[in-house]
Structures are given as C-alpha cells and as structure tokens.
A and B are shown apart, each in its own frame.
Chain A
Amino acid sequence: MYDMKALYQAKSVKDAVALRLAHPGAQVIAGGSDVLVQMREGKRAGAELISIQALDEIRGVSLDTDGTLRIGSMTSFSHITRDPLIQTYINVLGEAVDQVGGPQIRNIGTIGGNTCNGVTSADSASTLHAWDAVVELTGPGGVRRQSIQEFYIKAGKVDLREGEIQTAILISKESYENCFGHYIKYAMRNAMDIATLGTSVNVRLSADKKTVERARVAFGVAGPVPLRAGTAERLAAGQPVSLELAEQFAQTVKEDINPRDSWRAAKDFRLHIAVESAKRAFIESVRLAGGVL
C-alpha cells in the first residue's frame, strides 16, 4: 500500500486540468517510476495524487501538419526508441532514452515525467536541450508553448503553472531536418544507473559534407539544470569539418559548463569527461551526417 491521501484519476486532458485546479496541492503522477518511489521513501508520504496514466490521447509520436515532430508526454521511453518517426528524424533521442534505468523502467517511465521532474541527470534532457525542444503545456487558458531551456527553472523545478499539465514535447522541422546527433551517457554501471554526465551533440553539414553549418551541444549534470554550451556551438558554425575542429569544439565547452563535486563524481572529473564526451559525440555526429574526419 502506498501512503497517499487520495487518488484522482483524470479521464482526459480537460479533466486533468480541472483536477489540477480543484486540488492545487496534489502531485501529478504519470508512469509512476519517480513519484511512487519517492512516496515509498517517505518523501511524498500522505500526498494527494492526480493520475494522468489513462490519457491515451497524449501517448505516441506523430507529425503535425507543419512538419513538427510531436511526442505525446505520456509516451514511454521504450515506445520512443521503437518509433519509426523518432528513428527517422531524431534517432539520438531514442538511443538516449534507451539508457534510462532498465528495460521495465523504460516501459513504465514517460518523457513527460522525465522532463517535469526537472532533474539535470535525466537521459532525455540533454538531447531535448540540444535539439531546441519546445514543451507544450495545456492549462485552463488553453495551450502554451515554451522552450525547454525556459521550462527548466532550477534543480527539481520546472515552469508548470497553475492548472497546467505537460501534453507534448515538440521538435520543429527546422531543428531536426538534415541533423544528426549522438548521445554519450557516462555512468558507473551499464544498467540501472544515473548519469555522472550526459552529453548530446548534433550537427548539420553543408551539402558537400565539408562544412559544419550548425553544431549544438547540451549536457546533463554539468550544472543544476541541463545546459547548452553556446560558445563551442558558435566556434564550430561555418567551419570546415576536421579533427582539429572536434578538439577545439570540445575544449571550448568548458567556457559554459559548471559541474559540481558530488558523491557520484568530482568536478574536475566531470569537466574531463565533458570535454572527451563532446569530442567523441561531435566526431560521431559528423560521421552520421556523412562527413569524413
């Protein structure tokens, strides 16, 4: 038995919004792999829960008419990994969420829950930041869209306002078109572990594959929230593809990141693996995009 005060089960997005307004102190529960564990640990003991588990309308991946890739917030990690649209347009996201926990956790956990937790180590977070994901929030006033960078306010806190639930993660066509990326999770174990550092890089090359048109890089656990390394991105944009560029790009990420000492790893170690991971992920992204280094 879980120590909960009450369980309110939403039947639709509209219903979920009404329940959020009626019970402002209640915790939203999606897949349950975080909320129920926290409840078991006593952190959320006695809480009221609003379950959105039954909202099939926000499950699954689709393309909007303008080409925007829409990932319903209740889509599980394993369904994202297996989805043909994900594999075509943003395969790196499927690879990243295939490193969350273990197989059962990937069937249970959802992308919406992973982002609403506001945790910097979330395996989806760095890739969503690196691809300029947009968060769709539905509330009493209708639908609101917000960049993922603004959605993460601080560790454990996201911009989820009164009466709102997250209904989708969106990737625009401009963001995913001709873009290839790679994610590196550095953890102590191969399964059931939380990232010591997560690095997600993606590039778009020129038609002749000789020039980096755009490079983007984001990290998890390199700061209190996932963050982009803009200085390195600006350095690489417009430059010819080369191993020297990969090295410069990787060294420059240090300008923008601020990892901390924790029991998982020391700051210096995180800085070291950030540079090495950025380099490897950059090289792999270029290779996936058809470039030769």
Chain B
Amino acid sequence: MERHEMQYQTVHFNLNGEDVERTVDVRASLTDMLRNDFRMTSVKKGCEVGECGACNVLINGEAFNSCIYLAVWAEGKKVRTLEGLLGPNGELSDIQQAFVDEAAIQCGFCSPGFILTAVEILESGREYTDAELRKLLSGHLCRCTGYENILRAVKKTMYKRLGKELPQ
C-alpha cells in the first residue's frame, strides 16, 4: 500500500477572543482541532457531513458547520464556540439562560450549535418574524424538544436585546 507523507501546518487564529496557534494535521477538521487540541467540547460530533448542525461555530461572525471545514482554513480567522459566551466566572449569557428558562434543552446535544446560530441572529440587531426565525434556525436537528421552545427562547432574547416587549 502506498504510504502517505504526513503533513502538518501551524495555524494562527483567534479563539473566543484569545490569539492562539497550533500545529495540526492538515487532514483535521475544525471540529477535530477545537475538541482535541483546545478541549472545546461544546463542539459536538454529530453527523459529520454538515447536516445536523451540532458542530456549529461562528467564524468571523457567521455560522459554519465545523465538521466540513478544514482546521487549517481557520488561519487568521476569529472563531467562537459556546465556551466564549460565558462570563468571567462562568455566568450564562442571556441566550443560554433563555434556553434554560424556556426548557429549550433536553439531552443538550444540539444546544451549543443552536445557541451559536442564535448568536449570529441576535448580533445582526434585526427584528425577525417567526417565519424568518424558523428559516434561520433550520440548519439544526433536535430530536427532543420539537423546536417550539427553542424558537421561543431565541425570540424572547431577540426582543429583550432590541428593548421591545415580546408580542403576545
């Protein structure tokens, strides 16, 4: 059998506000690197073909399934994971608290991915209709909650951040 030469490369990027670098195997996905090299275990391995959204992270503010993104592509990028949302003493962010309050979590496997997509939605500073929110959240699979509680958690936080009353 043909032997493949191992290829490594050093990647420099910003992870949750901190400049970091790692020498990684070029075959690694961003999920692999975040979990194995940085212990960012909120980044879940689900389908690993970009369908379930469990490995979702923010790259330069946009939601990406990190399972179908090569680790070396993170060079120079700003990467955010769920761990980056916590306060200095581990306090939950508003969107995480809303997921708790609305019981938008059961097993929790899809939650980090969903919450980071919610962060992209919330940081746009726009007000979306329910139909728009459903579409924006459609890249995630949740087998427990039936999605309604998740929608409610995102909607509630959206109105709160916009300083508006949640419509009844």
Q: CB within 8 Å of B: which residues of A? A: 1-7, 9, 32-33, 36-37, 40-41, 46, 51, 53-54, 78, 101-105, 107-108, 190-192
- The answer to whether B7 touches A104 (Cβ under 8 A) is no
In the bound assembly, the distance between CA atoms of A51 and B5 in angstroms comes to 18
- With a cutoff of 8 Å between Cβ atoms, the chain A residues found around residue B29 in the complex are 1-2, 36
In the bound assembly, the distance between CA atoms of A13 and B29 in angstroms comes to 24
A1-B25, A6-B5, A190-B138 are known contacts. Are A104 and B63 too (CB-CB below 8 A)? yes
In the complex, B38 has a CB within 8 A of chain A: no
Chain B: number of interface residues, binned into ranges:
20 to 34
- The answer to whether A108 touches B138 (Cβ under 8 A) is no
Which of B34-66 touch A at CB < 8 Å? 48-51, 53, 56, 59, 62-65
Determine which of B32, B63, B64, B72 lies in contact with A7 in the assembled complex, contact meaning CB atoms within 8 Å.
B72
- With a cutoff of 8 Å between Cβ atoms, the chain A residues found around residue B138 in the complex are 102-103, 190-192
- The answer to whether B70 touches A192 (Cβ under 8 A) is no
A5's nearest neighbour on chain B, judged by CB, is B4
Determine which of B48, B56, B59, B139 lies in contact with A40 in the assembled complex, contact meaning CB atoms within 8 Å.
B48
A2-B29, A191-B138, A192-B138 are known contacts. Are A105 and B49 too (CB-CB below 8 A)? no
- With a cutoff of 8 Å between Cβ atoms, the chain B residues found around residue A53 in the complex are 70, 73
In the complex, B135 has a CB within 8 A of chain A: yes
- The answer to whether A41 touches B64 (Cβ under 8 A) is no
In the bound assembly, the distance between CA atoms of A170 and B48 in angstroms comes to 34
- With a cutoff of 8 Å between Cβ atoms, the chain B residues found around residue A7 in the complex are 7, 26-27, 70, 72
B28's nearest neighbour on chain A, judged by CB, is A1
In the complex, B96 has a CB within 8 A of chain A: no
- The answer to whether A104 touches B32 (Cβ under 8 A) is no
In the bound assembly, the distance between CA atoms of A191 and B135 in angstroms comes to 8
In the bound assembly, the distance between CA atoms of A82 and B8 in angstroms comes to 36
Determine which of A4, A9, A51, A102 lies in contact with B139 in the assembled complex, contact meaning CB atoms within 8 Å.
A102
Number of A-B contacts (CB under 8 A): 88
A6-B4, A6-B5, A102-B139 are known contacts. Are A33 and B68 too (CB-CB below 8 A)? yes
Which of B62, B68, B72, B136: most chain A CB closer than 10 A?
Answer: B68
- The answer to whether B69 touches A32 (Cβ under 8 A) is yes
In the bound assembly, the distance between CA atoms of A6 and B48 in angstroms comes to 20
Would you give the shortest CB distance from A96 to chain B, in whole angstroms? 15
In the bound assembly, the distance between CA atoms of A7 and B135 in angstroms comes to 35
Would you give the shortest CB distance from B8 to chain A, in whole angstroms? 11
Can you list 8 A-B contacts (CB < 8 A)? A1-B32, A5-B4, A46-B4, A53-B70, A104-B50, A104-B56, A107-B63, A108-B50
A48's nearest neighbour on chain B, judged by CB, is B4
In the bound assembly, the distance between CA atoms of A13 and B105 in angstroms comes to 46
- With a cutoff of 8 Å between Cβ atoms, the chain B residues found around residue A46 in the complex are 4
- With a cutoff of 8 Å between Cβ atoms, the chain B residues found around residue A54 in the complex are 73, 75
In the bound assembly, the distance between CA atoms of A1 and B5 in angstroms comes to 15
Determine which of A1, A40, A101, A103 lies in contact with B117 in the assembled complex, contact meaning CB atoms within 8 Å.
A103
Which of B120-161 touch A at CB < 8 Å? 135-140
A7-B72, A51-B70, A107-B63 are known contacts. Are A191 and B25 too (CB-CB below 8 A)? no
Would you give the shortest CB distance from A220 to chain B, in whole angstroms? 21
- With a cutoff of 8 Å between Cβ atoms, the chain B residues found around residue A37 in the complex are 49-50, 68
In the bound assembly, the distance between CA atoms of A102 and B120 in angstroms comes to 14
